[in-house]
Amino acid sequence: MFTGIVIDLGEVREISGKGDLLFRIGTNFATEAVPIGASIANNGVCLTVIERGKDWFAVQASAETLAMTTLGSWRPGTKVNLERALKVGDELGGHIVSGHVDGVAKVVSIRPENDSLRYTFEAPPNLAPFVAPKGSVALDGVSLTVNEVDGARFGVNIIPHTQKVTTFGTYVVGSMVNMEIDMLARYVARLLGKD
């Protein structure tokens, strides 16, 4: 489990494999404290650490993960939002995030709003009903509050700090991001038979 509070902006260093891919991710984490088998959210995708070095760790993504997320478009140099898994007693600064990405959303507009930027995203049609004003959504692993919803489109406000320390600073209109709907919305819909 995660909270959607990014703690490092890593970078893809190497990619290898066919079908399933191995990603070597550069990080500022103290990797000696990251055990093999640990879970790390990489742009919101929970992946298992299978190797590590002084300033990097490696994870493997299955063909299914590559098809359902943006990981298949990663190249060396791609910036990656990183979050270590929660420990009992950790601060819950964002919202409960599983690291199980539901689909991919698209940036449809970016406009200034005071010192911040207002991003409008378009959710896949099957995920749009789960997005609500003042609800939570995780985009590339970042916990965000939804400001407004218009059909499949929804807006979030990104402050300068978030622009600087996450991948939001790299997005342009047309960028694709991993989207995880709020876990509570998922279970309420299931209970109501709307999934």
- Could you list the pLDDT tens digit for every one of the 195 residues in the chain? 898 889 999 999 999 998 899 999 999 999 999 999 999 999 999 999 999 999 999 999 999 999 999 999 999 999 999 999 977 777 777 788 888 999 999 999 999 999 999 999 999 999 999 999 999 999 999 999 999 999 999 999 999 999 999 999 999 999 999 999 987 776 676 677 766
Q: How far apart are CA 97 and CA 149, in angstroms?
A: 21
**Topology at the third CATH level for domain 103-191:** Elongation Factor Tu (Ef-tu); domain 3 (2.40.30)
Name the token pair of 42. Answer: 């990489």
The CA distance from 120 to 113, in Å, is 12
Domain 8-84 has CATH 3.40.50.620: no
Phi first, then psi: give them for residue 111, nearest 5 degrees: -140, 145
Nearest to 81 by CA among 18, 146, 173, 144: 144
**Are residues 75 and 35 in contact, defined by beta-carbon separation less than 8 angstroms?**
no
Stretch(es) of the chain classified as CATH 2.40.30.20: 8-84, 103-191
pLDDT confidence of residue 189: 66
CA 123 → CA 113, 143, 144, 160, distances in Å?
22, 16, 14, 24
Query: Over the stretch 88-145, which tens digit does the pLDDT of each residue have?
Result: 777 777 788 888 999 999 999 999 999 999 999 999 999 999 999 999 999 999 999 9
Instruction: Locate 98 and state its tokens.
Output: 């599983």
